[in-house]
Structure 1
Amino acid sequence: MDHERVLALYDLRMRREVRPDGPDCRVEHVGRVVRMTGPAHAWNGVVWSDLDAHSADEAIAEQIRHFSGRAPEFEWKLYAHDRLHDLGERLLRAGFRAEPEEALMVAEAAGIAAEPRLPDGVEIVPVTDAAGVDLMADVHDRAFGTDSTRLRQWLLDRLAADPGTVTAVVAVADGRPVSSARLELVPCTGFAGLWGGGTVPEWRGRGLYRALVAHRARIAADLGYEWLQVDASDDSRPILGRLGFAVLSTTTPYVYAR
């Protein structure tokens, strides 16, 4: 993989030319900032910026004004390779909080795609309706210890409005959901995103995370997508590295809450 070329493609297609990721979401290009605005339960924030020391503080203030009253919080997604190296410090001074750093990892979909190897008694079930979303939300709550209310509403909206661009799956054992993940397909970009992979504590270490990566990679490759992209936590980064994903950069979510 030509890391510089793929990173440049990612910046262009997935950030500067980002598409709305759900119904009632819109993308706006405001000066040297690209932002996504949507309902309160959707992702709201800045996906790309090309600011300098003279324009950064006013641009930050303008985003705070814009998102105020529209959502309980919004995110500025900052990458290590972005031009203004002290942007993170400026965001902190403006009232943002930094979330844990993630690794931007990319792999060729065809090289990752495989028949998933599942433990005995486990099957992968597609999520296509509200009942399936409930199963996925149950895994999310138990795996991450966070409230899945916003994710549930966003996924229901996406499945209803544009089901061809999201594939959600749940691994079920003895009738109970034990792992889940989703694949977000971005037409005309060559990139498909792996998101939300999580396994409940008592089922970790049995290969379910790897199985769901292989399953989603096969779907993406069959649909003609060249690249898989993941924002990897410290827990998933070693697994993805062993599977063949490469780190192209790091990204830190800076969150502003009202």
Structure 2
Amino acid sequence: MTATSADLLEAYDDQLRQEAEVTSAREWHRHGPLVRAITGRGGFVTYRDLAGLEGSALDALIADTVAWFRDETDVSMFEWKTRGHDAPADLPERLEAHGLVADPVETVMIGAAERLDVAVDLPAGLVVRRAGDGGDLLADVSAAARMQESVFGKSGGPDPAELAEQLVESPELSELWLAEDEHGTVVSAGRLEMVPGTEFGGLWGGSTLAQWRGKGIYRALVAARARSALRLGGVYLHSDCTDMSRPILERSGLVAVTTTTPYNWARS
């Protein structure tokens, strides 16, 4: 039986929140309903739900969390990751009142990996492959990073050397997939990150050069990662996507189940 969007959201809440989001953290602990973590990039706050807290009790939890990151850690910033279906509805306003600033809203997309493993016709000369297969791994990762930086106008992804090391150390968890033209130029790329202890793999860092969009290349990368996720034991794929990526992922078979908005605190 095909999973409904409600089924997918339930699987997301049960498997991908709390500890599953901090598996690579340097340290983490529970504080009430929260999981508070120190990651390589700063701090991170996640939870399954807020245990019915609202009003002054919720304000106290937010204030305590800000104070802990400010006074007990050396991080320069932390992210409180909210979801659109979380209660209470006024959580965003309360976070902003404590100095946290919202990033753009993204859509959480989920799909069954077996339904995403499909054949996609590609332009002549295009090749889709896993980074390091038939090429130098660090060179592949670096070429993908340069392409993504040209798309986004900044370097927002993992450091190429650190990502290459991660791909070597944990091939059962992390992969980078590339699409190259006939000259060996990377025109599209995206990562697959399997989530330990869950049925999920994540689609991250997807981007395609503007002149190559609309040709099925990114859908082919989704299909390749779905195929690999199945090989690694995954059942579902998920992605936090922008409005630009959402139509592509919907055509690939992923379903929107909720939204997510990071709220960020930074030292002044």
Question: Considering the TM-score relative to the shorter chain, is it more than 0.5?
Answer: yes
CA contact (8 A) 1:103 1:247 kept: yes
The structure 2 residue matched to 1:138, chosen from 143, 146, 160, is 146
Runs of 4+ deviating beyond 4 Å: none
- Partners of 2:204 and 2:176 lie apart in 1 by 9
CA distance change for structure 1 residues 199 and 34 in 2, over 3 Å: closer, same or farther?
A: same
- Post-superposition offset of 1:204: 1.8
- Post-superposition offset of 1:222: 2.5
- Post-superposition offset of 1:143: 1.4
CA contact (8 A) 1:115 1:214 kept: yes
- Post-superposition offset of 1:120: 1.4
Q: Percent identity?
A: 36
The structure 1 residue matched to 2:179, chosen from 146, 152, 171, is 171
- Structure 1 counterpart of 2:107, which letter? A
Task: List alignment gaps of at least 5 residues for structure 2.
Answer: none
Name the SS for the 1:117 alignment partner: coil
- The answer as to 2:69 corresponding to 1:67 is yes
- Post-superposition offset of 1:215: 0.8
Report the equivalent of 2:55: 53
CA RMSD of aligned residues (A): 2.2
- Whose Rg is larger? 2
Name the SS for the 1:230 alignment partner: strand
Report the equivalent of 1:107: 111
Name the SS for the 1:55 alignment partner: helix
* Alignment coverage as a number of residue pairs: 255
Give TM-score scaled by structure 2 length: 0.86
CA distance change for structure 1 residues 158 and 67 in 2, over 3 Å: closer, same or farther?
A: farther
CA contact (8 A) 2:85 2:258 kept: yes
CA contact (8 A) 1:124 1:169 kept: yes
- Post-superposition offset of 1:150: 4.5
- Partners of 1:153 and 1:98 lie apart in 2 by 30
Report the equivalent of 1:16: 18
- Post-superposition offset of 1:160: 4.6
- Partners of 1:157 and 1:21 lie apart in 2 by 17
CA contact (8 A) 1:75 1:255 kept: yes
Report the equivalent of 1:215: 224
- Partners of 1:119 and 1:9 lie apart in 2 by 36
- The answer as to 2:203 corresponding to 1:194 is yes
Moved more, 45-54 or 205-214: 45-54
- Partners of 1:154 and 1:25 lie apart in 2 by 15
- Post-superposition offset of 1:192: 0.8
- Structure 2 counterpart of 1:8, which letter? E
CA distance change for structure 1 residues 36 and 118 in 2, over 3 Å: closer, same or farther?
A: farther
- Partners of 2:96 and 2:165 lie apart in 1 by 33
Give TM-score scaled by structure 1 length: 0.89
- List per-residue Cα deviations over 1:127-169 (Å, max 9, x = no partner): 2432222112112101111224644365245325423211111
- Partners of 1:57 and 1:154 lie apart in 2 by 38
